[in-house]
Amino acid sequence: MRLYLILLFAAVLIFVPSLKYGFSQDDFIHLYHSRASSLQDVINFFNPSNSYTDIFFYRPLTTQFYFFINQLLFGINALPFRIEALVGHLVNGFLFYLIVRKLWQDELVAKLSAFLYTISAAHFLSIYYISAFQQIGKTFFIFISIWLFFKSSKKYYFLSILSFILALLSKESALILPAVIILTELFMGEKDFFRNFKKNLLLISPFLFILGLYLVIRLVGINQAFGQGEYRATFNLFEILQNLKWYLLWSFGLPEIFSSFPSLSPVGIIQIIKDLPVSFWIFCLFFATVFLLLKFMLQTTLNWKKITLSLLIFIAPLLPVLFLFQHRYPQYLDMSFLGLLPLITYLVIFNRGRKLFKFSFIFCFISLQLLSLHLSEQTHWTTHRSKVATYYFDLFRTNHPIIEEGTTVFFIGAKEPARELSIALAKHYSLAVWYPKKIKSVEYILEDIQIDKKIIVPITQF
């Protein structure tokens, strides 16, 4: 166990560069709306009918309450948020190990798959984007709920239900938990599940009841973004399969930015390599990883029932987002890894090939994650916008340490830089957080407007 914890800590070290980034984008919206002056304000965070401007989801535990506690303890300081994301990811890696050990009944499979889970480049957005802590928090409560459900104790069972409620309060994609529990029960003992169908249905019924109640609350809730913009669902089979393809590719370590290119055809791959030279090595490692895995499949005695259930456990957690063609991110793979990574690890460990190939696969997989994380840090919008927001924060603190009440701030520049800056600073929210009750309005325009009590800021940092 001590060696395993050392491996987990070593794995999380690859995400340490995230500590140098500050707030950006939705972070400012959440910082603004999570301020509370009374206990009633805090309780209202959990009121599903409570409306917050520019917050379109009911995720009070990992949004308003989370940002409120951090501001109360640390003020407007991004570093504690960053450390908490790393620690949360590390804890999730350990819970992943406990669950896989229970499912597969094999210590080595559990340890290696948890290590691969912890270093996966798919977690980039969850760790580098503070507002995406919702995903880490939801995964924590989901993993706790599954692990406690396996304990077969009344006390742990009720705690499992409570953890499910907390997961739903963290992020709506937790609604898939009952299906995942059923699949994991089938995985551990297919015949026993159906032989004791009534008993198992009784055990899962409280989860289904809570899920039904939650869906009713969501349907009558005020701030709902589903069906709008990038959250518009598609029922086109081709687009759904396209989504599934990208989630499968991301699970091996390909960076998110590749999905922004037209295709992964030979011409598309050449274009990616031309635009992003490091992609050549990423593709080399990816194809080597896939080739070795296919080789292991031919050299391993396979249990097709376990393979089928593993793939279902991979797909099931993606169902809440699989139909959102314009809203797909690798971070949604965290629960799906329960199905895929242990299966991959089993093929690596128990194939009849040489150890050299096994070590080659692990080397290629780890190297692929490291290169993908490096490329993501260089190209992803969250790191870029964090740098921009930090630059303008420092600029304001240096040039305008004190601002008069009722001041209007003008950011003057071309249309596209102004648009990008308005996203990075979340329109007026960043200034409202930095200078509480001082800013009258924030404008992003092409030229100066003659009014009193104003600050002019040329848009230069991009």
Q: What is the pLDDT of residues 319-332, one digit of tens each?
A: 988 888 777 899 99
Residue written as tokens 């295709």?
263
Mean pLDDT of 129-158: 92
Range of weakest confidence among 61-65, 222-226, 327-331: 222-226
On whether both 334 and 453 belong to a single domain, the answer is no
On whether both 347 and 436 belong to a single domain, the answer is no
Terminal Cα-to-Cα distance of the chain (whole angstroms) = 46
Out of 379, 414, 431, pick the residue that ends a domain.
Answer: 379
Q: How many domains does the chain have?
A: 2
- List Cβ neighbours of 180 (8 Å cut-off, separation of 6 or more): 142, 146, 313, 316, 317, 335, 338
On whether both 252 and 386 belong to a single domain, the answer is no
On whether both 216 and 300 belong to a single domain, the answer is yes
On whether both 36 and 150 belong to a single domain, the answer is yes
The per-residue pLDDT for 325 is 77
Mean pLDDT of 243-254: 93
Residue written as tokens 């491996």?
7
On whether both 122 and 106 belong to a single domain, the answer is yes
Mean pLDDT of 110-117: 92
On whether both 182 and 139 belong to a single domain, the answer is yes
On whether both 61 and 162 belong to a single domain, the answer is yes
Mean pLDDT of 139-160: 91
- Provide the pLDDT confidence category of residue 225 given band limits of 50, 70 and 90: low
pLDDT digits (tens, 9 = 90+) for 256-296: 998 888 888 888 888 888 888 999 999 999 999 999 999 99
Out of 355, 379, 403, pick the residue that ends a domain.
Answer: 379
On whether both 286 and 388 belong to a single domain, the answer is no
Out of 353, 379, 405, pick the residue that ends a domain.
Answer: 379
The per-residue pLDDT for 197 is 62
On whether both 413 and 329 belong to a single domain, the answer is no
The per-residue pLDDT for 187 is 85
Report the distance separating Cα 310 and Cα 154, nearest Å: 28
On whether both 106 and 171 belong to a single domain, the answer is yes
H or E element at residue 11: helix 2-12
What's the CA dihedral at 335, 340, 342, 347 to 10 degrees? Answer: -170
- The answer to whether residue 86 scores a pLDDT higher than 90 is yes
What is the domain extent for residue 402?
A: 382-458
- The answer to whether residue 222 scores a pLDDT higher than 70 is no
On whether both 425 and 321 belong to a single domain, the answer is no
The per-residue pLDDT for 270 is 87
Q: Is pTM beyond 0.85 here? A: yes
